[in-house]
Amino acid sequence: EKDVETLEALLPLIEGRSFCPLADAAVWPVKGSLKHFKEQYLALAREKRPVPRPALWR
């Protein structure tokens, strides 16, 4: 759960404060997914096991 809190704390520190214009674009998907799927993030954090990766990553 602390990982989710850390993500939420870091997002405003990056968005709009970086010299790189791509930084905002990197924040938006994380911010949006936390907004809509926060409970899933917290459930995965509570399980404390790795998330399965797609087979194409091998």
Q: pLDDT digits over 9-29, tens only?
A: 999 999 889 888 899 899 999
- Contact in structure between 49 and 5 (CB atoms under 8 Å): no
CATH numbers and ranges of domains, the chain: 2-49 (1.20.1440.230)
Q: Indicate the pLDDT class of residue 44, thresholds 50, 70 and 90.
A: confident
Q: What is the pTM assigned to this prediction?
A: 0.68
Q: Is the pLDDT of residue 42 over 60?
A: yes
